[in-house]
Structure 1
Amino acid sequence: MLVEAAWAAARVPGPLRAFFLRIQRRRGQQVAAVATARKLAVIVWHLLAKAEDYAWTRPALLEAKLRKVELAAGQPAVAGRQQGRAHAYNSKAVRDRERAWLEQTEKAYALFVANWQTKPPQGCTGATTGTRSSKAT
């Protein structure tokens, strides 16, 4: 189930998609899906352990999904032309704004990862990198 969720996460903009694409370039699509599934499991564990909400959620989409679950569970629908909390998702402008925000976070993640530079540990003699130290023995 986590791998299926990872495939879904790879289709929508956001940090998980950027992670998927980064791994896919290096290791292939199947390995990227499994790595993203593992990352999802770790995220879920942290969210449950810390009782926090996911930081990169789309608020209007979340409200629409929660309302759909409430209706399926038997909560009564509101009659009339009242606009409930899930109404914002009906606006294309709101959906586009949230999607643009997630595309921006995806680009920020990709830029953050691109700027990583691996540095040898302090006091490294070069044995791990295959180079020799200039120190005389």
Structure 2
Amino acid sequence: MSSIPSELKYTESHEWVKDNGDGTVTVGITDHAQDALGDLVFVELPEIGKQVAVKDACAVVESVKAASDIYSPLSGEVVGANDALDGAPETINEDAYGDGWIFQLKLSDPSQLDELMDAGGYEQLLADEG
């Protein structure tokens, strides 16, 4: 079973969200998602300053198997992107919840955080997907 950090929030499309405590969040894909994709070979990051809404496709990860959209879990403005992934997309495979983060958002509606799953909810989602 993939590790599911309890301090993070999760989406049904397998993104994780870390509340940075300053009106911004850090977003990445879960360990389960990177494992399902396989070895990542390319990451297309969102543009800084881009406005995104919940469930907007805003980044892409490509593996040897497939390309997969990364959806914004929340509405806001992209204020950071993990440029280190440009030369090392495999960082997501190696450290999905740490150095493999993908982008950061300044939230337009922080209350949306309450609508995301906690670790227990995400664990149940994975069990239901079976």
Q: TM-score, normalised by structure 1?
A: 0.29
For the pair shown, the structure with the greater C-alpha radius of gyration is 1
